[in-house]
Structure 1
Amino acid sequence: MHRVLLAGLVVFASVGGARAGAEQYFSETSKDFGTTPRGPILIHYFTVKNTSQQTLNLGPARVSCGCVTPTVMKSQLAPGETTAVVAHMDSRRIPQANVLKTVIVYVPVQNSGTGIFEEVQLRVSAIARDDLVMSPETFAFGTVRKGQGGKSTTKITFYSDPNWKISDVMSTGVYVKAEAKPVAHQGSEAVYEITATLDPKCPVGNWTADIWLKSTAPGIERLRIPVTVNVVAPIVANPEAVKFGDVKVGETADQKVILQGNQAFKILKIKGAKDDLEVKAVGEGSRPVHILKLALKASESGDVTESIEVETDHPDQPTVVIPVTAKAAK
């Protein structure tokens, strides 16, 4: 499941008042994408959390317009579990340009305690402009190492007014800042370059945010540019967790873990190895890539749940923790 880790990058608007019925499980029930060029796929995650004491069932979602495709990421939620209903709005399929389009996503929700289905309505809206072009359509930083930061740039062209101006730029995320500068004003066109800067302090995670532009043109007073970035740790373990699967008691199962850093580092100590789990580092010294060899020899039946802790001299990540699981049987 895609992690929508919005806390820290995205500042949520407060929701006033308590929701009744099945709406209480949704963090929000509407999303306004604002004005957009015709072309981008607009994506929003409606978070759903089962705050009840019973299992929550989500049925297949339906929509009032084919320009939106909904996806229910998980159909059954145990108490305390969280998922999302994802709305993909294709701006190319919005019927009329320069007119607000609102689409309703209907999501059936059943609490197993009552057995009654309720249909929650989620609203997504946008205005598609034919006289507005953005290239590229998002600030996609891709995968960056923690502490690396980065910059991403897009150009926006407005064809209806050479005097068009962007008067203000705002970011919804504390780790992303943006600025706009005019590039050209000629004929009926106005071109701006927008640059987004990612703070090196951005935590590890798969993040999303929005850049909002304030414009002088009627009908496009606010223009949204989505931001995506995947921040990874200075040292990445592959795999992140070792899963031996089914192991016969008395037999030895082997696995390898590759530790890859953004700079050379030493392994100082490996903790967590026990009688049934042996861990060895291949080679010594300072290097950007280390290989760990794990050997598991279960002595009795049952679930094996361990973790190894690798101490390093890396200034940004002195410890790497790797979970280890297996199921031993005779």
Structure 2
Amino acid sequence: MSTGSIAGEVDGEAQIHWNDPTRPVVILKLKGYVTPPIAIEPVPAIFMSAFSDEPAERSLTIRNNEARPLAISKVEHSQHLTVSVANLEPGKLFVLTARSAKGAPVGRFEESLTLVTDKPGASRIDLPVHLWVKPDLYANPETIEFGNVRIQDVERPDIAAPLTQTFFVKHSSGAFEITSIDCDFAAVAVTQSPAGPSDSFQINVRLRPEALSLGNINGKIRVTTTVPRYPELVIPLTGAII
């Protein structure tokens, strides 16, 4: 077994074939624990969501399990982040702290962060970075996807779940109101909760069985709000009735 890309608990089995016709095969259960040379905890990646003016922060623990001390000379990263490394136990234990940069542009960013070390033969450790910088008012998820819905299933009471999708509209600066919700795809019904002012709304989008026909689900939901900076959110609607 190659353990180059494995860390943590490992389970498996081995088959031993004998020339004994009464017991031709013996199965051995295997269990072990793989300790990587350099462990990055809790996972070797950074997942972060933040508002443009309210940076978020994530920390990773870097543990050197080799006898040779490790030195981290620098960290390479994009301008969307600020990064610091604290050496808690010289050569053995580090804490990397990544923060979203204040004023970072709104959007989703798939990036990487590189630790430059003095480890022979593997001096660069690349970590994926998944960063979502949200506007003050945002929808989550940003797209409603029904996938493929079978026409013969739409009126079955036990198949109700795939006919309804939910998204949330949230405002980081306090309560607001939704003044209207419109959809240009006629075969859906859209409801909101709560009805009055709030800083977070749940929006349910339900396919109407009586109005469905074979073909693509393709439309837009327009949410009008009382937030001056974001008077309208547009959420795409996709899927297919098959």
**Could you say whether these structures have the same fold, taking a TM-score greater than 0.5 normalized by the shorter chain as the test?**
yes
Question: Is the CA contact 2:217–2:237 (under 8 Å) kept in the aligned structure 1?
Answer: no
Q: Distance in 2 between matches of 1:317 and 1:272?
A: 16
Q: Are residues 1:160 and 2:64 paired?
A: no
Distance 1:198 1:166 in 2: 21
* Structure 1 partner of 2:12: none
The answer on 1:281 being equivalent to 2:192 is yes
One-letter code of the match for 1:272? Answer: C
Distance 1:67 1:284, change over 3 A: same
Task: List alignment gaps of at least 5 residues for structure 1.
Answer: 1-65, 69-88, 93-129
Q: What residue in structure 1 maps to residue 130 of structure 2?
A: 229
3-state SS in 1 of match to 2:68: coil
Letter in 2 for 1:286: P
Alignment of 1:225-304 (within 5 A): 225-229=126-130, 231=132, 234-237=138-141, 240-242=144-146, 245-247=149-151, 255-261=164-170, 263=172, 264-273=175-184, 276-287=187-198, 288-294=200-206, 296=208, 297-298=210-211, 302-304=215-217
8 Å Cα contact 1:242-1:322 kept in structure 2: no
1:146 positional shift: 4.9
Deviation for aligned residue 1:209:
0.9
Q: Deviations over 1:50-101 (max 9, x none)?
A: xxxxxxxxxxxxxxxx648xxxxxxxxxxxxxxxxxxxx5167xxxxxxxxx
User: What amino acid sits opposite 2:62 in the alignment?
Assistant: K
**C-alpha contact (below 8 Å) 2:62/2:93 kept by paired residues:** yes
CA deviation after TM superposition for structure 1 residue 236, in Å? 0.8
Q: Following the alignment from structure 1 to structure 2, what is the Cα–Cα distance between the partners of residues 265 and 284? A: 11
- 1:150 deviates by 1.9
Mapped contact 2:144–2:165 kept (Cα < 8 A): no
Q: How much does 1:319 deviate?
A: 0.8
Is 2:82 the partner of 1:177? yes
TM-score (norm 1): 0.44
Contact 2:179–2:225 (Cα < 8 Å) also in 1? yes
Task: Report if the CA contact (8 A) 1:303-1:326 is conserved.
Answer: yes
Given that 2:83 and 2:99 are in contact with CA atoms closer than 8 Å, whether structure 1 keeps it comes out as yes
Q: CA deviation at 1:321?
A: 0.8
Partner letter of residue 68 of structure 2?
Answer: S
Q: CA RMSD in A?
A: 4.3
Provide the rounded CA distance (Å) in 1 between the counterparts of 2:101 and 2:176.
Answer: 24
Displacement of 1:136 in angstroms is: 1.9
2:210 is the counterpart of 1:307: no
| Alpha-carbon separation, structure 1, partners of 2:186 and 2:41 | 55
Q: Which amino acid in the other structure matches residue 309 of structure 1?
A: R
Q: What is the distance in 2 between the residues matched to 1:156 and 1:300? A: 57
Aligned length: 195
Q: CA deviation at 1:229?
A: 2.7
Taking the TM superposition and a 5 Å limit, the aligned residue runs for 1:1-330 are: 67=2, 90=5, 133-136=38-41, 138-142=43-47, 144-147=49-52, 148-157=55-64, 159-161=67-69, 165-171=71-77, 173-185=78-90, 191-199=93-101, 201=104, 204-205=107-108, 207-215=110-118, 219=120, 222-229=123-130, 231=132, 234-237=138-141, 240-242=144-146, 245-247=149-151, 255-261=164-170, 263=172, 264-273=175-184, 276-287=187-198, 288-294=200-206, 296=208, 297-298=210-211, 302-313=215-226, 318-327=232-241
TM-score by length of 2: 0.56
Q: Matches of 2:46 and 2:201 in 1, distance apart? A: 24
- Please list the CA deviations of residues 310-330 of structure 1 after superposition, one character each: whole Å capped at 9, or x if unmatched: 2334557941413054438xx
User: Contact conserved, 1:169 with 1:214, CA < 8 A, in 2?
Assistant: no
In structure 2, the CA distance between the partners of 1:326 and 1:282, relative to structure 1 (3 Å rule), is farther
The whole-number CA distance in structure 2 between the counterparts of 1:299 and 1:169 is 54
